[in-house]
């Protein structure tokens, strides 16, 4: 069988046997068609040397590292299928050592000055509207959302999917479901955050009662991630913060501020719901001047007094 035929059978298997979604299959198809084009005049496409040549070809293109890794993974999965079906004796990737290092991309945080500016504005804005107006209700909700984002470090998807029965902030906890539907309990003790949630629940009582979710819009539907992004952008524009502040930056800021306050990395991992400590360790790179401050102000040598006669 030709390489093109084998790829077609593999994609059919992905759809029928592995039950992969259309988006994944489409990505596989694009990656494998590129592999077919590269190997169009080569019969021994399953040989190690040809695979290495293809990887070198990908590295020569202007792809991002993540894209290259995905394209290689697609081809590797294809060869695993060929080996399983006994079309080839051995997957050539067994003999190939891949070392593709992704550049370190530091998480973007929000300055304390900008956070204070944002909160001062929105709290003041609330007092400018009549309590019976929807605009007042909307700002009450926006305050509660921002308080939860900066006070818990949860993902925006986690916030928008909080069920009303999982909001037990009066018992100082919120139950959320993170990546992979992993349950996580977030303790919540800050009085401003709790007060913002209590006011929001009172004002939106009817809407919440008619929804499965805690954070809702005026149509009594679940508040969307995009709505929160637009809300943050709107307020930043009004107070002349020209940075593109996103909901996820609140999460990064939460973690970085904890680290700056000498909270250990394992505790931060637990609060953020990271499955691996490696993911959390990225925050140790954000405040590079922290080490300088420690060595300047807390170096153990300062405690040693030597009489040099």
285 given a catalytic annotation: no
8 given a catalytic annotation: no
- The active-site residue, picked from 53, 64, 179, 238, is 179
Q: Does position 218 have pLDDT exceeding 80, yes or no?
A: yes
By the 8 A CB rule, do 268 and 92 touch? no
pLDDT-based confidence at residue 307 (cuts at 50, 70, 90):
low
pLDDT-based confidence at residue 250 (cuts at 50, 70, 90):
very high
- The active-site residue, picked from 126, 141, 155, 222, is 155
Whole-number CA gyration radius for the chain: 26
* Least confidently predicted of 82-86, 90-94, 147-151, 284-288: 284-288
pLDDT of residue 194: 92
Rounded Cα gap, residues 231 and 139, in angstroms: 10
Average pLDDT, the chain: 86
219 given a catalytic annotation: no
CB atoms within 10 A of CB 134: 9
179 given a catalytic annotation: yes
pLDDT-based confidence at residue 291 (cuts at 50, 70, 90):
low
Q: 154: domain CATH number? A: 1.10.443.10
Domain with 77 in it: 3-95
77 with 140, same domain? no
Q: For a pLDDT cut of 70, what percent of the chain falls above it?
A: 91
Domain count of the fold of the chain: 2
136 given a catalytic annotation: no
pLDDT digits (tens, 9 = 90+) for 195-205: 999 999 999 99
Q: Tell me which of 67, 95, 123 is where a domain ends.
A: 95
């Amino acid at each position: 069988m030709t390489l093109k035929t084998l790829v077609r059978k593999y994609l059919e298997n992905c759809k029928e046997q592995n039950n992969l979604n259309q988006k994944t299959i489409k990505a596989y198809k694009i990656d494998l068609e590129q592999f077919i084009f590269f190997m169009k005049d080569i019969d021994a496409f399953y040989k190690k040397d040809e695979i290495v040549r293809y990887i070198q070809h990908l590295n020569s293109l202007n792809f991002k590292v993540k894209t290259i890794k995905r394209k290689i993974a697609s081809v590797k999965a294809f060869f695993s299928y060929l080996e399983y079906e006994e079309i080839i004796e051995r997957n050539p990737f067994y003999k190939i050592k891949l070392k593709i290092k992704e550049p370190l991309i530091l998480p973007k945080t929000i300055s304390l000055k900008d956070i204070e500016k944002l909160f001062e504005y929105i709290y003041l804005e609330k007092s400018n509207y009549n309590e019976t107006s929807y605009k007042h209700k909307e700002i009450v909700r926006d305050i509660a959302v921002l308080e939860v984002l900066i006070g818990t470090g949860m993902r925006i998807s986690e916030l928008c999917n909080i069920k009303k029965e999982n909001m037990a902030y009066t018992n100082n906890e919120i139950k959320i479901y993170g990546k992979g539907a992993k349950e996580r309990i977030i303790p919540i003790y800050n009085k401003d955050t709790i007060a913002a949630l209590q006011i929001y629940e009172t004002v939106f009582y009817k809407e919440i009662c008619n929804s499965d979710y805690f954070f809702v819009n005026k149509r009594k539907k679940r508040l969307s991630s995009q709505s929160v992004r637009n809300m943050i952008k709107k307020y930043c524009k009004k107070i002349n913060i020209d940075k593109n502040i996103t909901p996820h930056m609140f999460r990064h800021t939460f973690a970085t501020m904890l680290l700056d306050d000498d909270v250990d990395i394992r505790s931060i991992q637990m609060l953020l719901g990271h499955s691996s400590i490696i993911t959390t360790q990225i925050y140790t790179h954000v405040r590079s001047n922290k080490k300088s401050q420690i060595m300047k102000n807390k170096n153990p040598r300062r405690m040693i007094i030597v009489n040099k006669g």
